[in-house]
Structure 1
Amino acid sequence: MVLPLRVTALWGPSAGEMAQNMFSDMESVLQFKRGLEEASKFLPSASQLVIDLETNPFSTWKKEETPRVVVKEEKSERDSSPNGSRGRKNHEREDWDLEEGRSNKQSAVHVEEGELSEMFDKVLLWTGGQCCGNDADQEVGCKSLQPDEQSNGSSGGKSRSKRQNKRMETVDLRTLLILCAQAISSDDSRNANELLKQIRQHSSPLGDGTQRLAHFFADGLEARLVGSGNGASNYFSSLTSKRTTAADMLKAYKTQLQACPFKKLSIAFAIKMILHAAEKATTLHIVDFGVLYGFQWPSLIQQLSLLPNGPPKLRLTGIELPQHGFRPSERIEETGRRLANYCERFKVPFEYNPITAQNWEKIPIEDLKINRNEVLAVNCLFRFKNLLDETVEVDCPKDAALKLIRKMNPDIFVHSIVNGSYNAPFFLTRFREALFHFSSLFDILDSTLPREDQERMMFEREFFGQDAMNVIACEGQGRVERPETYKQWQVRTLRAGFKPLPFDQELMTKFKGKLKSCYHKDFVIDEDNNWMLQGWKGRIIFASSCWVPA
Structure 2
Amino acid sequence: MFKEAGTDSKNSNPNESDVHRKSSWKKQQKEVVDFNTLLVHCAQTYASGDKPRACELLKQISQHSSPYGDASQRLAHYFANGLKARLAGTGSEVYHSLVSKRRTVSDMLKAYQLYLACFPFKKITYHLTNQTILDTIQHATRVHILDFGIDFGFQWPSFIKQLSDRPDEPPKLRITGIEIPEPDFGPTERIQETGRRLAKFVERFGVPFEYHVVAAMFDEVRVEDLHIEEDELLVVNCLFRLHDPADETVTEHCPRDKVLNTIRELNPAMFVNVVVNGTYGAPFFMSSFHEAMYYFSAVFDMLDSTAPRENEQRMLVERDLYRKRLINVISCEGLERERPETYKQWQVRILRAGFEQLSISKELVKKARAGVKTFYHKDFNMDEDGKWMLEGWKGRIFYGLSTWKPTCF
What is the TM-score with the length of structure 1 in the denominator? Answer: 0.69
| 1:134-145 equivalences in 2 (<5 Å) | 144-145=1-2
- Find the partner of 1:397 among 255, 279, 294: 255
Residue 521 (structure 1) aligns with: 378
- Shift of the alpha carbon at 1:264? 1.3
Equivalent-residue separation in structure 1 for 2:264 and 2:330 (angstroms): 34
Task: Name the counterpart of 2:276.
Answer: 418
Q: Distance in 2 between matches of 1:354 and 1:485?
A: 30
Picking from 243, 262, 268, the partner of 1:385 is 243
Secondary structure at the counterpart of residue 204 of structure 2: helix
After superposition, the C-alpha distances for 1:193-226 in whole angstroms (9 at most, x for unaligned) are 1211221222111111011000000110111011
1:535 aligns with: 392
Once residues 316 and 459 of structure 1 are traced to their aligned partners in structure 2, the CA distance between those partners, rounded to angstroms, is 28
Are the aligned partners of 1:223 and 1:236 in contact in 2 as well (CA < 8 Å)? no
Contact 1:220 / 1:468 at 8 angstroms: preserved in 2? yes
CA distance in 2, matches of 1:311, 1:209: 47
CA distance 1:282–1:424, shift in 2 (3 Å): same
- 2-side partners of 1:371 and 1:508: how far apart? 33
**Distance change >3 Å, CA 326–CA 505, structure 1 → 2:** same
Match of residue 448 from structure 1 = 306
1:225 to 74, 87, 108: 87
Cα distance, 1:549 vs structure 2: 1.1
Aligned partner of 1:185 in structure 2 is: 47
Q: 2:21 aligns with which of 143, 146, 161?
A: 161
Q: 1:375 & 1:306 partners in 2: Cα distance?
A: 19
Deviation at 1:243, TM superposition (A): 10
User: Would you say the 8 A contact 2:177–2:211 is kept in 1?
Assistant: yes
TM-score of the superposed pair, with normalisation by structure 2: 0.93
Contact 2:5 2:11 in 1 (8 A): no
SS at match of 2:125: helix
Aligned-partner SS, 2:24 = helix
Q: Is the 8 A contact 2:11 2:308 kept in 1?
A: no
Native 8 Å contact 1:205 1:212 kept in 2: yes
Q: Deviations over 1:385-427 (max 9, x none)?
A: 2110111111101111001000000001000111100000000
Aligned 8 A contact 2:51 2:87 in 1 = yes
Match of 2:335 in 1: 477
- SS state at 1:422 partner: coil
Q: 1:292 corresponds to which residue?
A: 151
Q: Which residue identity does 2:48 align to in structure 1?
A: S
Q: CA deviation at 1:149?
A: 5.2
**Corresponding residue of 1:213:** 75
Residue 436 (1) aligns with residue 298 (2): no
- Whole-angstrom CA distance in 2 between matches of 1:400 and 1:153: 52
1:244 Cα shift? 8.6
Confirm or deny: 8 A CA contact 2:118 2:376 kept in the other structure: yes
Q: Report Cα offsets for 1:362-381 as digits up to 9, x if no partner.
A: 32212211122221110001
Whichever residue aligns with residue 52 of structure 2, its letter is R
CA distance in 2, matches of 1:201, 1:324: 34
Secondary structure in structure 2 of the residue aligned to 1:352: strand
User: Do the aligned partners of 1:152 and 1:451 also contact (CA within 8 Å) in 2?
Assistant: no
* In structure 1, C-alpha distance between the alignment counterparts of 2:355 and 2:104, rounded to whole Å: 43
Q: Is the 8 A contact 2:5 2:304 kept in 1?
A: no
Query: What stretches of structure 1 move > 4 A for 4+ residues in a row?
Result: 155-158, 235-239, 241-246, 324-327
Name the SS of the counterpart of 1:415 in structure 2. Answer: strand
Label 1:478 to 1:266 Cα distance change in 2 as closer, same or farther (>3 A): same
> In 2, distance between residues paired with 1:293 and 1:267?
14
1:334 and 1:411 mapped to 2: Cα distance?
Answer: 28
**8 Å Cα contact 2:12/2:310 also seen in 1:** no
Q: How far apart in 1 are the matches of 2:51 and 2:220?
A: 42
Q: Which residue of 1 aligns with 2:6?
A: 150
Aligned residues: 401
Q: Shift in Å at residue 536 of structure 1? A: 0.5
For residues 112 and 68 of structure 2, the distance between their equivalents in structure 1, rounded to whole angstroms, comes to: 19
Deviation at 1:236, TM superposition (A): 5.3
The corresponding residue for 2:343 is: 486
Q: CA deviation at 1:505?
A: 0.7
Unaligned runs of 5+ in 2: none
Q: Cα gap change, 1:504/1:441 in structure 2, threshold over 3 Å: closer, same or farther?
A: same
Match of 1:52 in 2: none
Residue 360 of structure 2 is matched in structure 1 by 503
- C-alpha distance in structure 2 between counterparts of 1:326 and 1:195, whole Å: 40
What amino acid maps onto 2:388 in structure 1? W
- Displacement of 1:330 in angstroms is 2.5
Residue 127 of structure 2 corresponds to: 268
Q: Distance in 2 between matches of 1:149 and 1:185?
A: 37
- Structure 1 regions of 5+ residues with no counterpart? 1-143
Residue 548 of structure 1 corresponds to which residue in structure 2? 405
**Which secondary structure state, in structure 2, belongs to the residue aligned with residue 483 of structure 1?**
coil
Matched-pair contact (CA < 8 Å) for 1:151–1:449? no
Q: CA deviation at 1:249?
A: 4.0
SS of the equivalent of 1:287 reads strand
Of the three residues 163, 178, 182, the one matched with 1:304 is 163
Compared CA separation, residues 238 and 487, structure 1 to 2 (3 A): closer
In structure 2, how many angstroms separate the alpha carbons of the residues matched to 1:362 and 1:527? 33
**Contact kept in structure 1, 2:116 and 2:123, CA below 8 Å:** yes
In 2, the alpha carbon distance for the partners of 1:304 and 1:206 equals 43
CA–CA distance in 2 between the matches of 1:238 and 1:376? 37
CA contact (8 A) 1:288 1:380 kept: yes
Secondary structure, in 3 states, of the residue corresponding to 1:386? coil
Q: Which amino acid aligns with 2:23?
A: R
Deviations 1:141-190 (A, max 9, x none): xxx324x9537452765936333332223332111100000011111112
Whole-angstrom CA distance in 2 between matches of 1:414 and 1:405: 11
Residue 328 of structure 1 deviates from its aligned partner by: 3.2
Counterparts of 1:64-213 in structure 2, within 5 Å, are: 144-146=1-3, 150=6, 152=8, 154=10, 157=13, 159=18, 161-171=21-31, 172-213=34-75
Q: Tell me if structure 1 keeps the 8 A contact 2:95–2:324.
A: no
2:199 corresponds to which residue? Answer: 340
Q: Give 1:253 shift.
A: 2.2
Q: Is the 8 A contact 1:151 1:446 kept in 2?
A: no
Q: 1:408 aligns with which of 266, 277, 283?
A: 266
| CA–CA separation in structure 2 for the residues paired with 1:153 and 1:511 | 33
Note the C-alpha offset of 1:466.
1.2
For residue 164 of structure 1, what is the amino acid of its counterpart?
S
